[in-house]
Each structure stands twice: as C-alpha cells, then as structure tokens.
Amino acid sequence: MKNKFINTLVVALSFTALAACQQEESVPEPAKTEVVAEVEVSDKPVDFSAKAEEISKKYIIADTHIDVPHRLLEKYDDVSEVTESGDFDYPRAVKGGLDAPFMSIYTPADLEEKGGSKEQAEKLIDMVEKMAQDAPDKFALAMSPGDLLRNFRQGLISLPMGMENGSPLEGELSNVEYFFERGIRYITLAHSLSNHLSDSSYDEARPNDGLSDFGREVVKEMNRLGMMVDVSHLSDKAFYDVLEVSEVPVIASHSSARHFTPGFERNMSDEMIKALADKGGVIFINFGSTFVSQASRDNYDAFKEARQTFMDENGVSVEHESVMNFTKQYREEKPFEFADLNIVLDHFDHVIKLVGVEYVGIGSDYDGVGDSLPTGLKDVATYPNLIEGLLVRGYSEEDIAKILSGNLLRVWTQVENHAQQQ
C-alpha cells in the first residue's frame, strides 16, 4: 500500500487531521475558495488520466458509505483477496487508491418491529473486526482521524465504521456510548422506514413529525461523545430538527442533489445543502444511478409499476419464480438506464457552485445499490475516473484533495474536539 501521508498533509484542510492526531488545537472554520484550474506552464497537452492516477496515490481517499458487511453477511467472501462478486475487495481498493472506506453497519428497517436490530449490528461489527484481525498487513480499524493517519504511515487501509439506521439503539440512550466504544463513528438516524428516533424520507408515515424526543437526546449524546450525526435517509423535517439540536457540523454520508431528481426526498434540496454547509457540514455524493439521474429513476419506476401489476394480476409475491421470469423478460425488452460518470460529476459541480468545495465528498454506496452503479464508476477501483473527471472540469489538485478526504477529516476533527471540550 502506498504511503501518502506527507503529500496529504500538504493540503490545507488536512492539517486539521494532524491536529486530531496530536489532540491539541481546535480546528478553525475553513474559508470558502474559488474553483481554480491548475495552470500548466507548458505547451504540452495535459494527460488528465496520468494526473488522476498520480493524485489517487498522493492523497487520502475516503468514502463514507460502503455496504461490505451486509454483503458478506448474505454471502461471505474473503475481501482481503480478489472476489468475483461485489464492489469492494482489497486489490481493487488498492488499484483505486481507496484508503478509508467507512464500513456500513446496516440493519434493515423492518427489524425495528420484528426485533433483533442490536444483535444484527453486533454481528456486522464483529465481521469488520475479523476483517482487520485476519489481514493485519492490509486492514486496520480506525476510531479517529489520528488512527486513520497512523494507518497510512503503516500502509494499511483503514476500516472506520458508521451505523446505518439507529434502530439498534433500541430506545436505550446508553447504547449510543456502547456502540461508540465498539467503534461506531457516525449513526444514520433512520433508514427506509420511520423509527423511534426519526422519520424517514422513504416512509409516508411520519409518526415523529421529524425527530422524536428520544432522537433529540441521541443527537445530543452523539455530540457529547464525539460521534458524527448522519442525516441521509431522514425526512426534510427531521433534517432541520437535527440542525437545530446539534452543536457541531453534521454529515449526509450518502446523499445526492435533489436538483437533478425533483420530488425525490431521499436526496437533498438546495436549501438543505445550504443549511448543512452553513453549519459546517458535508454532503457525500451517492453514486447510485437512481440517485443521480432522473432518467434512471423514471426507468426503474416504470419497471416497478409493471412488476406490481403482474403480481397483482397473478396473485404472487416478489419472490415467486414467475416474477423473476417476468423481470428477466422485461429487462431484455427495456434495459435499465444507467447513469454515467458525467452525471455524478454534475452533482459535485452543483454542490460546489452552491456552497463551495469545502462541503462535498464521496459517499458512493458501493455494495449498497446493487447493479445500478453508473458507467465509469462500477467499483472501488474506479476513483481515478472520478478524479480525472474533476481535473477535466478545471478543479485544482488542492480542491480535489478536499473532496477526497480533507472535508471529512475537518468535520470529524471538529466533532472530536467538541467532545473533548465537554
């Protein structure tokens, strides 16, 4: 694994990560910067592909949402070696320059009612710990920006963890600290259904009218401990409740811009992105085709409607073999419409033009969005394609380094510093 520590620290915002490692100084708010292209003092054309490869090896690349643990729970693979399935394994991560993939500790929303959320989270955390224990020459846990940087020095891929869905707290405030001690460094308060903390953007039922009273207490406890609050998946009202309660910047670990998908509440509106940035928070762009492309959403919605009609007419459930046959035939006639790299780049552009380059990062949702990933960004080996696209659009190396990890390290450090000052 390459050593990128020195080069990473050259970036201004990454000095905040060094502060976390030393745990001495508070982190100042970064000033917004103009997007400035690098000036090449040469008549020779710029080789953007080669430059992108260089940058991918020179700076920390962090991705705040990768669903490897849940994928391995369904079918275990040794991701320290090449795997035939999924979007992540060690060789592909090295090829793509990925250094800090946040492992998503995901619990399905229906476990809130069925029970077993905490047990599920425990299994996934155990799995991530085992990944690091079984391949100590490749992976290491990371509980802080300082851990992440020390792992770089040793040439290791860090495995920080974020909990997707607050259901495992099971109504006990003490479980926030319990999971913090187990290594969880952010919690996505809800998932596809409203729960006992927060309403969900996917759920028509809004029993909490935003955050519940318990959800508000959870946000305060996360602030106290130094755990990042994640607003992805939340209803708009819950999002604004979080901003009202939290004393520190918050993150959207895997969301995109609603500007491109009008009416899709799971993404963030321009007003929400501005409010997030005003508080110092960061939106990490989700790569899923149906998150970034309205055409992909329309295509998928038409398929779902046709499938539902078939199920209703035949009195069968989605697991029935006839539905699988229907799906195969439908997709042969009307293939899924994938987004592409340029559409994903449009989301980065939109956020940066709206609030500045200091408030956007990468939250791909690899291993979490099935086979809907855009052309050019199919797995963790493809981050250089994203970097090349940013270079072509005129972003400077310094700004790209902020997108790759500097912005995350700044927020994470601010959250830690706040907790240490309590």
Backbone φ, ψ for residue 251 (5° rounding): -125, 155
DSSP-derived 3-state class of residue 369? coil
> Are 277 and 308 found together in one domain?
no
Comparing CA positions, the residue from 83, 106, 105, 226 lying closest to residue 160 is 105
> Are 248 and 174 found together in one domain?
yes
Q: What is the pTM of this model?
A: 0.91
- CA separation for the pair 68, 79 (Å, rounded): 9
Comparing CA positions, the residue from 332, 328, 1 lying closest to residue 139 is 1
For position 86, what pLDDT does the model report? Answer: 96
Q: How confident is the model at residue 45 (pLDDT cuts 50, 70, 90)?
A: confident
Residue range 165-214, pLDDT digits in tens: 999 999 999 999 999 999 999 999 999 999 999 999 999 999 999 999 99
What CATH number does the domain containing 83 carry?
3.20.20.140
Q: With 50 as the cut, is the pLDDT of residue 387 above it?
A: yes
Backbone φ, ψ for residue 401 (5° rounding): -65, -35
Q: DSSP string of 62-128?
A: EEEEE-HHHHHHHS---TTS--SSSS--HHHHHHHT--EEEEEEE--TTHHHHS-HHHHHHHHHHHH
> Are 307 and 204 found together in one domain?
no
Residue range 310-369, pLDDT digits in tens: 999 999 999 999 999 999 999 999 999 999 999 999 999 999 999 999 999 999 999 999
Average pLDDT over residues 282-291: 98
The 161-164 sheet, strands edge to edge: 62-66, 100-106, 161-164, 184-188, 228-230, 251-255, 282-285, 360-362
For position 402, what pLDDT does the model report? Answer: 98
Our count of domains for the chain comes to 2
- Please enumerate in sequence order all residues whose Cβ is within 8 A of that of 177, keeping only pairs 6 or more positions apart, or say none: 221, 225
In a domain, 8, yes or no: no
In a domain, 215, yes or no: yes
Residue range 128-166, pLDDT digits in tens: 999 999 999 999 999 999 999 999 889 999 999 999 999
Cβ pair 63, 98 in contact under 8 A: yes
Q: With 80 as the cut, is the pLDDT of residue 21 above it?
A: no
> Are 224 and 150 found together in one domain?
yes
The encoded tokens of residue 111 equal 């476990």
Q: With 60 as the cut, is the pLDDT of residue 123 above it?
A: yes
> Are 65 and 209 found together in one domain?
yes
> Are 241 and 311 found together in one domain?
no
Task: Please identify, among 284, 316, 336, the residue that sits at the C-terminal boundary of a domain.
Answer: 336
For position 252, what pLDDT does the model report? Answer: 99
In a domain, 123, yes or no: yes
Average pLDDT over residues 69-90: 95
Average pLDDT over residues 281-288: 98
Task: Please identify, among 318, 336, 354, the residue that sits at the C-terminal boundary of a domain.
Answer: 336
In a domain, 232, yes or no: yes
Q: Which helix (H) or strand (E) holds 192?
A: none
In a domain, 19, yes or no: no
For position 43, what pLDDT does the model report? Answer: 63
> Are 256 and 301 found together in one domain?
no
> Are 300 and 288 found together in one domain?
no
Task: Please identify, among 282, 316, 336, the residue that sits at the C-terminal boundary of a domain.
Answer: 336
Q: How confident is the model at residue 74 (pLDDT cuts 50, 70, 90)?
A: confident
Beta bridge partners of 200: 234
Average pLDDT over residues 259-287: 98
The encoded tokens of residue 64 equal 């705040």
> Are 159 and 247 found together in one domain?
yes
In a domain, 31, yes or no: no
> Are 257 and 304 found together in one domain?
no
Strand intervals (E) in 268-405? 282-285, 360-362
> Are 204 and 57 found together in one domain?
yes
The encoded tokens of residue 40 equal 């090449």
Average pLDDT along the chain:
91
> Are 388 and 316 found together in one domain?
no
- CA separation for the pair 100, 296 (Å, rounded): 29
In a domain, 20, yes or no: no
Structural domain that includes position 188: 44-293+340-420
In a domain, 216, yes or no: yes
Backbone φ, ψ for residue 327 (5° rounding): -60, -45
